[in-house]
Structure 1
């Protein structure tokens, strides 16, 4: 799904209306599975009730059942920075083509939260989709970093 500039601004306003910084899920990378779906889905927590879908929807939605992504606490940004990185990422990736193995919700969610555009679910097929052997998207990190350097350098590491 490609978003126009107006849609990106609308999504940013929705994020700002839905965030609750006192929520345990605020600014955290979350994942969940839908019934009868073998894939894990990823997004950024906004509140106890809302998640920003970093997948096809690129929008907030209501969902109470989600898990914290394990093993990233030592590399994750602070929640406030993650929310700001999420808003900036919309400007950069709003028109990127979503593909399950090549550029997906896990790549974008992890890039926003940890600065690593990695998808463990795609890692086994890395050579088919121009990923690194670790499952990283090859250009997303550099593109996002260069954008942030121009508009919000403090959001880079």
Structure 2
């Protein structure tokens, strides 16, 4: 390491990085070993919402597969295929596709139609409901924490709330 790099390493106290799984994070960790790595509110909540969407997408793929199997069975039996409909008229795969955007919004911002869709979605897919509730609670943590406070996470990683 050059003297210039060493000086920078000792002067830098805090560094904001996207998230700990990125290659950049590993490089930053190696180059700036004395600095606290900070993950900001936006990126943490973004990861939480992505996790909710991954669960929704997993269920959607399962619904697509089930509908394809039912279609093939009806075809073999020479019967017209009619997919099962939920109380709002959607099939499971339609409900899962059409609920994408409501899972990014806070419930107080939902329209009446989105509220009804959410109730139906959550009653059929409790894991989506649980993960959505957890992502909302994570957002509430950030609103309750005072500027400049934070906590240590997994040993060295510091999540700093500064907004």
Is the structural similarity TM-score above 0.5? no
TM-score, normalised to structure 1's length? 0.26
Structure with greater helix share of residues: 2
TM-score, normalised to structure 2's length? 0.26
